[in-house]
Amino acid sequence: MLIQRKYNSATTEAETVLMITRMPDFRRDVLAAALLSGVLYGTPVPAQELQKLSGIAMLTGTCERLVMGGDNLSGLCGGKVVQSIYSTGRTGFTVVMGEKGAVTFSGIEGAKPDADTQLQSLDGIILNLGVEGTPPSSLAVTGSCTYGNPFKGPATISCQGVDANKEEYLLQFTSDGGPPIMRYFDQE
Helix (H) or strand (E) segment spanning residue 49 = helix 47-50
pLDDT tens, position by position, for the chain (188 residues)? 233 333 333 333 333 333 333 333 333 333 433 444 444 334 444 444 556 788 889 999 999 999 999 999 999 999 999 998 888 889 999 999 888 889 999 999 888 889 899 999 999 999 888 887 788 889 999 999 999 999 999 999 999 999 999 999 999 999 999 999 998 876 55
Q: Which residues contact 25 (CB under 8 A, 6 or more apart)?
A: none
Domain count, the chain: 1
Among candidate residues 28, 92, 19, the one with its CA nearest the CA of residue 57: 92
| Domain span including residue 145 | 3-184
Stated pTM of the model: 0.74
Contact at 8 Å (CB) between 107 and 96?
A: no
For 5-28, letters b (16+ CB in 10 Å) and e give eeeeeeeeebebeeebeeeeeeee
CA-nearest of 54, 75, 68 to 126 is: 68
Distance CA 53, CA 187 (A): 8
CATH code: domain of residue 164:
2.40.160
Phi/psi for 162 (5° steps) reads -135, 150
